[in-house]
């Protein structure tokens, strides 16, 4: 349902920011999450893109946070308990688990999908598959 909705609303004819904004609105319908959005890979760091939720870090250095780890490893990262991960950057004190999926274009990470949850162990392999499918759709927009 989420994937179908996203496929239906995004288009290469629209500005990237418009597409990503609506994708966050769809992702925000996932149950038990408190933040969802994008980080965009720029020349010197990861920068906040469209999102839903509380104010978040605007700039994340490449090697910092779970987002930095995802960018370096080029694979989805699931953190069951962010309180136990010393690299985790706490944008919201309510977050307890997190999933970050890279959007890869021509073997380069161009953006990340980041979702936080206020409960531990929120994200499953099913969520991972879903976000990786979503990432494949968004990759076409870059
Ligand atoms: N927790 C992320 C930072 C971004 S916020 O979750 C929105 C991280 O550790 O990279």
Confidence of residue 99 (pLDDT cuts 50, 70, 90): very high
Domain ranges of the chain: 2-139
Q: What would the mean pLDDT of 90-108 be, rounded to a whole number?
A: 96
Ligand 1 atom 1, closest CA: 89
pLDDT in tens, 6-52: 999 999 999 999 999 999 999 999 999 999 999 999 999 999 999 99
Ligand 1 atom at minimum distance from 70 CA: 10
pLDDT of residue 96: 98
What value does the mean pLDDT take over residues 91-95? 92
- Would the pTM count as exceeding 0.95? yes
Question: How many whole angstroms from 91 Cα to the centroid of ligand 1?
Answer: 6
3-state secondary structure the chain: CHHHHHHHHCCCCCCHHHHHHHHHHHHCCCCCCCEEEEEEECCCCEEEEEEEECCCCCEECCCCHHHHHHHHHCCCEEECCHHHCCCCCCCCCCCCEEEEEEEEECCEEEEEEEEEECCCCCCCHHHHHHHHHHHHHHHCCC
Q: Is 53 in the pocket of ligand 1 (CB under 6 A)?
A: no
Q: 127 CB under 6 A from ligand 1? A: no
For the residues 67-96, what does the mean pLDDT come to? 96
Q: What is the CATH number of domain 2-139?
A: 3.30.450.40
Confidence of residue 74 (pLDDT cuts 50, 70, 90): very high
Q: Is 46 in the pocket of ligand 1 (CB under 6 A)?
A: no
Which ligand 1 atom sits nearest the alpha carbon of residue 64?
Answer: 10
Cβ–ligand 1 contact at 131 (below 6 Å): no
Tell me the pLDDT band of 87, cut-offs 50, 70 and 90: very high
């Amino acid at each position: 349902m989420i994937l179908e909705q996203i496929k239906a609303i995004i288009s290469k004819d629209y500005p990237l920011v418009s597409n990503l904004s609506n994708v966050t609105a769809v992702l925000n319908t996932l149950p038990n999450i408190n933040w969802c959005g994008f980080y965009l890979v720029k020349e010197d760091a990861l920068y906040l893109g469209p999102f839903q939720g509380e104010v978040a870090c605007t700039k994340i250095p490449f090697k910092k946070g779970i987002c930095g780890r995802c960018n370096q490893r080029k694979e989805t990262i699931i953190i069951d308990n962010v309180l136990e991960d010393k690299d985790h950057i706490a944008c919201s004190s309510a977050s307890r688990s997190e999933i970050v999926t890279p959007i890869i274009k021509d073997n380069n990470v161009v953006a990340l999908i980041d979702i936080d949850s206020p409960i531990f162990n929120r994200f499953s392999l099913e969520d991972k598959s879903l976000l990786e499918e979503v990432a494949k759709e968004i990759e076409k927009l870059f």
